[in-house]
Amino acid sequence: MHNAHESLSGRKLAAVSLAALGVVFGDIGTSPLYAIRECFHGEYGIAVTQGNVLGVLSLVFWALLLVVSLKYLVFIMRADNDGEGGVLALTALVRPKRGVRGVGQWALVAMGLFAACLLYGDGMITPAISVLSAVEGLGHIAPVFKPYVIHVTLGILVGLFLLQSHGTARVGALFGPIILVWFGVLAVLGLVQIALNPQVLQAFFPWHALAFLIDNRLHGFVVLGAVFLVVTGAEAIYADMGHFGSRPIRLTWFLVAFPALILNYFGQGAHLLTHPADAYHPFYAIVPHWALIPMVPLATMATIIASQAVITGAFSLTSQAMHLGYLPRLRVTHTSSTHIGQIYVAPVNWLLMVCTIGLVVGFQSSSKLAAAYGVAVTATMLITSVLFFVIARKRWKWSLPAAALLTLLFLLVDSAFFVSNMTKIFHGAWFPLIIGGVFFTVMITWEQGRRILGSKMKALTEKLSDFVARVTSDPPQRINGQAFFLTRSHDLVPMAMVQNLRHNKILHSDVFFLNIRTEEIPRVPNFEKIEAEKLGAGIHRIIAHFGYMEEPKMSTIASLCKEQGINVDLKEASFFLGREKLAVGKKPLMGRLRAQLFLFLSRNAMDAAGFFDIPSDQVIEVGAQLEL
């Protein structure tokens, strides 16, 4: 898929680029609504003087240039996992192979996993702050609307989350054109103000940024936390690379998004130089009064689109984590037959909705919400830089000086933003960290619990080769038909078979041991998906390989088996699935509280029949009792 995007040209490239504009740049494209305001009017706002305005704008320009343009667009997007991007895809690249677990490798995987978990907190804050900041424009149209800002915001957010189950494929075609108009308006508004006060263009020179930090010392460093708001969304740009390819994203950024953002930020700064009292909302201050009424709906639509991209990203992250074995099976609904990324995960949707609404009700204004924004994203960017260094050294074979110098530059910028954002920790920044910590605990608990269960099962069963030899030398009674047994390991007999043979004393004429594996790549080509082997005595072993972006369905496996000459009759086959009855022992290997959490997750996980799309009336569950 990635390669196909890279070879696009002409109209197709323009169409994909327009679609990318609507999905990829919504988050970073709505930052002008609140970023400059927070620098001068937020919790730690600094005085509106010429030196401070030029200093802040210089920091904004160089942040966008170094973090988004250089770090993400030029270098990080080269670290793709078979075309897919995002911190979880990056983690999959450094994840140890099966059975290999060094302390250093485990630490890298844990870091990447925690960075991915932090994005759930981002997925809650982004809709809250972006929609609320847009709707606050109602107060600029007429003060009489101010008391209704929260109510309108909540109504929009509730509607947004309720619509998720229906999908956005139909209206998705409008996302690109709307965001294109949005960026066009941002650019025009900024140009007008820059033309009135062109001295603001001095901010392109980096010494204004340095002078700002030197002159304002600690206060100037703290303001960096607000400057960072202009680059939130950079991680989403990288994560969406798999849907559009790097070329359309880079093209759209450098030709449309980047210049429009710079023009608008500089336009807000130019206005503040002559109207310092407008620091309470400089974005709407540069909008002509006659244009306020259409501007509020346009800004609201742009923030809804930005929120939609973040919500879909949370669904995609959940699906990837499930297939990589970090989350229990949940029902994933595809809401579009043409867009592979359009999925819906109900529990995640409702959790995001409750937390997003809670944030709006709790903080009451986008300015207060901005205090909660930043720490999680900067932590993710720091971890991304570390993982990038590992990829550059291990996979690209860069020299140590080259990899270290570039990574140090990234870490220097990331660390400055991270430390400045840590000053917000008691003003709401703890929220995304708590959310990330909860998801991280759930993920490592599920992964460790599955490993413990696997070792317990291994002790209670036998090797597949020994089983085949035993059945061959001392055959049980055979009956006609096909029987499938899902197995965790390709060389072990599943517990369901052991229990079935022990109690029923019979074996089907055709027995298939099916081991479904999720590989550390997004997609596995069809010709590599199936490994089939006849073991004798009517017993077959099938190993099915799927990527973490794919859905392993029984119908797909059956059709691919037929291509290899294995006749699978899905309508007549019986599927024997193990159903473990779990209990917490006196001394659980993972701690009592985490063992209880694993039990809760197991009981609420989607069953294998539903997850693999196996007809429920052909399923036979065989139980076994195990202690954690």
DSSP secondary structure string for all residues of 408-442: HHHHHHHHHHHHHHGGGGGGTTHHHHHHHHHHHHH
HSE-CB of 198 using CA atoms within 13 angstroms: 1
What is the residue whose two structure tokens read 């691919």? 560
Query: How does pLDDT run across 586-596, given as a tens digit for each residue?
Result: 777 778 888 88
Distance CA 180, CA 187 (A): 11
CA nearest neighbour of 261 among 26, 586, 594: 26
Q: 2 pLDDT band (50/70/90 cuts)? A: very low
In which region does residue 523 sit, left (phi positive, over 0), alpha (psi from -120 to 50) or beta (all else)? beta
For residue 620 the two structure tokens come to 């036979």
Residue type, 72: Y
**Token pair in block for residue 386:** 């570390």
Q: Which pLDDT does position 51 carry in this prediction? A: 93
pLDDT at 36 over 90: yes
Side chain identity at residue 443, one-letter code? M
Cβ contact 230:27 at 8 Å? no
Q: Structure tokens of 267?
A: 């336009």
Residue 101 has pLDDT above 70, yes or no: no
Q: Which of 72-81, 99-108, 181-190, 218-227 has the lowest mean pLDDT?
A: 99-108
Average pLDDT taken over every residue of the chain: 86
pLDDT of residue 97: 59
0.85 exceeded by pTM: no
**pLDDT tens digits along 322-336:** 888 888 888 888 776
Q: What is the pLDDT of residue 168?
A: 64
Among residues 52, 117, 128, which one has the least CA distance to residue 371?
128
| C-alpha to C-alpha distance for 81 and 528, rounded to whole angstroms | 17
Instruction: Write the single-letter amino acid at 496.
Output: A
Using CA of residue 448, residue 392, residue 258, residue 276, what is the dihedral sign?
A: positive
Tell me the domain boundaries of the chain. 2-448, 462-627
Higher pLDDT, 478 or 341: 478
pLDDT in tens, 251-299: 999 999 999 999 999 999 999 999 999 988 899 999 998 898 999 999 9
Instruction: Take residue 237 and report the two structure tokens written for it.
Output: 């740009």
CA–CA dist 142, 147 (Å, integer): 11
Q: What is the mean pLDDT of residues 458-474?
A: 83
Q: Which residue has the higher pLDDT, 63 or 395?
A: 63
Mean pLDDT for the stretch of residues 170-196: 90
CA distance linking residue 605 with residue 579, whole number of Å: 12
Residue 1 has what pLDDT? 40
At residue 315 the predicted structure's pLDDT band, cuts being 50, 70 and 90, is confident
Residue 365: partners with Cβ closer than 8 Å, 6 or more residues away: 132, 136
- Bigger pLDDT: 88 vs 72: 72
Res 98: pLDDT:
54
Which H/E stretch holds residue 24? helix 10-24
Per-residue model confidence (pLDDT) at position 4: 45
pLDDT cut 90: percent of the chain above it: 35
Angle between helices 430-460 and 103-135 (to 10 degrees): 140
Pair 188, 266: CB distance under 8 Å: no
Alpha helix positions (H), 68-202: 87-94, 103-135, 138-141, 149-162, 169-196
Q: What is the pLDDT of residue 141?
A: 82
Strand order in the sheet with 619-627: 530-536, 539-547, 506-519, 477-486, 574-583, 619-627
pLDDT of residue 169: 61
- State percent of the chain over pLDDT 70: 95
pLDDT at 7 over 60: no
**Across residues 225-229, what is the average pLDDT?**
91
Give the pLDDT confidence score for residue 52 in this predicted structure: 94
Tokens of 193: 């103000």
From the CB of residue 473, how many other CB atoms can be counted at a distance below 10 Å? 8
C-alpha 321/C-alpha 333 separation (Å) is: 16
**CB distance 327 to 316 below 8 Å:** no
Token pair, residue 525, equals 């080509």
Task: Give, for 366, the enclosing helix (H) or strand (E).
Answer: helix 366-370
pLDDT(464) > 80: yes
- When pLDDT is cut at 50, 70 and 90, the band that residue 214 belongs to is very high
pLDDT digits 0-9 by tens, 352-385: 999 999 999 988 888 888 877 888 889 899 999 9
For residue 488, count other CB atoms closer than 10 A to its CB. Answer: 16
Q: What is the pLDDT averaged over residues 22-47?
A: 87
- Could you count the other beta carbons within 10 Å of the beta carbon of residue 246? 21
pLDDT at 31: 92
> Chain centroid to CA 80: how far?
14
At residue 171 the predicted structure's pLDDT band, cuts being 50, 70 and 90, is low
Length of the chain: 628
Question: What's the CA gap between 183 and 26, in Å, rounded?
Answer: 10
- Domain 2-448 part of CATH 1.20.1740.10: yes
Quick check: 620 pLDDT over 90?
Answer: no
Residue 534, pLDDT > 50, answer yes
Find the mean pLDDT for residues 301-314. 87
Q: What is the dihedral sign for C-alpha 161, 175, 337, 548?
A: negative
Please state, in angstroms and rounded to a whole number, the distance separating the CA atoms of residues 194 and 302: 24
Rounded to whole angstroms, the Cα distance separating 395 from 270 reads 46
